[in-house]
Structure 1
Amino acid sequence: MTPQLDFVGIVVTDMSASVAFYRRLGLDFSAGSEQEPHAEAALPNGFRLALDTEATVKSFHIGWQHPTGAGRVGLAFRCADPAEVDSVYTDLIEAGYHGEMKPWDAFWGQRYAVVQDPDGNGVDLYAALPTAD
Structure 2
Amino acid sequence: MEDSLPAAALGHFVMKVQNIEASYQFYIGLGLRAFDTFPGMAIVELRGGTHLLLFQKDDQQSSALQNSHVGQRPDFGSEKLDLMISGRTEADLEHYRAGLIDNGYSPSAIADGVLYGHHYFTMQDPDGNGISFYTSHCSDKPV
Structure 1 counterpart of 2:52, from 49, 52, 77: 49
SS at match of 1:88: helix
Q: Distance in 2 between matches of 1:83 and 1:36?
A: 40
Which residue is 2:125 aligned to? 117
Residues 23-76 of structure 1: per-residue CA shift (max 9 Å, x gap): 122221246x3x8421112334232111111143x44528x9xxxx82423222
Q: Which runs of 5+ in 1 are unaligned?
A: none
Looking at secondary structure, tell me which structure has more helix per residue: 1
What does 1:61-80 align with in structure 2 at a 5 Å threshold? 61=63, 70-80=77-87
Which residue is 2:19 aligned to? 14
Looking at secondary structure, tell me which structure has more strand per residue: 1
Could you state the TM-score of these two structures normalised by the residue count of structure 1? 0.66
SS at match of 1:40: strand
* Pairwise CA distance, 1:6: 2.4
AA aligned to 1:53 is Q
Q: Which runs of 5+ in 2 are unaligned?
A: 1-8, 67-75, 138-143
Q: Distance in 2 between matches of 1:60 and 1:120?
A: 19
